[in-house]
Amino acid sequence: MTVRIVLGAQFGDEAKGKIADFLAGTARIVVRSGGGPNTGHTVVLPEGPVVLHQLACGVLRHGVTAISGPGMVLQPFKLEDELRALDERGLHRGEVVLSDRAHVILPAHELEDVWEDELRSQSDPAAALGTTKSGIGPAYADRYARWGIRLTDLSRPGALRERLGLLYATKSHLPGLPPLEEVVSRLAEVGGRLAPMIRPTEPILWDALARGESILLEGAQSALLDIDFGTYPYVTSSHPTSAGALVGSGIPPTELDEVIGVAKAYSTRVGAGPYPTEDTGERGEFLRRVGGERGATTGRARRCGWLDLVLLRYVARLNGLTSLAITKVDVLGGLDEIPVCVSYRMPDGTIVRDAPPTRADDLARAEPVYENLPGWPELHERAKERLRREGGAALPSALVRFLDFITQATDVPVRYVGYGAHRDETVDLGPTAPRARRSPLAAWSG
């Protein structure tokens, strides 16, 4: 039995869906622990690509239970559309369970999301956060303000009407609010259709642990977008960290075995916020074009740049990473040199190697210090076929050095390497010896 967490180790869009789907092949249960329809996890199957927004990737595998966990905020009408699309393609293979504790994204939340970002940009266009306008932030805000509606409430129209009336009293400033009774009716109807899937999910997980079954916790977003530890205020509204995955699922920390951080061989970011290694020139455009860097949910072009080891070291320490998955190494194939950021030079001349500045405006002024590593050949189909047959032994020597450089810089072994978009284009380099625990903050430069 293993309990694993797979989470994003950059600004999101690291191909977490691909790695989570790969790991789901040995799991009995996969739990999406946070976020909502603002995320898009892309899995490329033989039948074609699939983008999952609110469902755990276990839905694509026979014999696997896919849980949308209590830490999520769910838009039930979009969720029905997602299920319907899988059914129509014959790809709804696993069992879907929705936590009765998950919160509901309401039409009012989507309106509020647009209204809030417009309000931010009125005085300064740069102040807009660039959210997906999916209602995520307002839904989480109401969750913590205790105005929220949960999936369990949808089966009780009387209580639903009462709670929604209270919530509506806080939304009178929003233009275009749909009538309360209309929303109550629609929510009750969709709740009835989803009812067979809605149940308490903690007992399901605890029973699975007692039976020794393997569980995968699939994080959404990324650790650098964490509401507390990310580049605030340019963050999401939940905790896409290893600690957040445990809270968002109901699994005790004592049961955790592995934490796998997913990072691209370069980096990307969608929306506003500081991004020290962004490349706005021809090389950044190369990464965008060859990497197909557009958001799976919004279709927006991603900002592109280079691997940032300052931020990756921070994420590794914050989340207790036990291994790394480095994806999209094929995108860099054929380049003579690969820039890697090893430290920052701050405006006062100080050098930062481990802990990024807390303030977003300070991080925006950080000058990346690069080390150029030798590039590796293009990974044509023949090279990919060798990787399928021979595994890690077929990795180009320069790529192996690149991966070793990451391991040495982060003190976290690279175990998984993604060399293409398809499900089978992932190499498992095998387990490594457990790391000796560091003395508390002993080697941390701060």
- Annotation marks residue 228 as catalytic: no
Sign, CA dihedral 274-278-281-286, equals negative
The partner residues of 21 in beta bridges, in order of sequence, read none
CA dihedral of residues 374, 354, 226, 283 (deg, nearest 10): -30
d(C-alpha 320, C-alpha 363), whole Å: 23
The answer to whether residues 167 and 145 touch, using CB atoms and an 8 Å cutoff, is no
- Annotation marks residue 13 as catalytic: yes
C-alpha distances (whole Å) from 126 to each of 273, 276, 360 are 9, 17, 13
Bin 351: left if φ > 0, else alpha if -120 < ψ < 50, else beta: beta
Choice among 13, 100, 113, 153 that is catalytic: 13
Best CA proximity match to 314, nearest among 387, 261, 278: 261
For 212-256, the three-class secondary structure string (H helix, E strand, C coil) is CCCEEEECCCCHHHCCCCCCCCCCCCCCCCHHHHHHCCCCCHHHC
Best CA proximity match to 274, nearest among 237, 300, 311: 311
First to last CA, the chain: 36
C-alpha distances (whole Å) from 423 to each of 56, 63, 115, 383 are 16, 18, 39, 16
Residue 420 CB contacts under 8 Å (≥ 6 apart), including other chains: 330, 379, 384
Q: Specify the amino acid at residue 178.
A: P
C-alpha distances (whole Å) from 333 to each of 103, 178, 313 are 43, 52, 24
User: What are the structure tokens assigned to 325, written together?
Assistant: 């998955």
- 130: exposed, middle or buried (C-beta count within 10 Å: 0-12, 13-18, 19+)? middle
Choice among 41, 92, 103, 109 that is catalytic: 41
d(C-alpha 353, C-alpha 369), whole Å: 10
Sign, CA dihedral 344-346-352-356, equals negative
Would you please indicate which residues are annotated as catalytic (active-site) residues?
13, 41
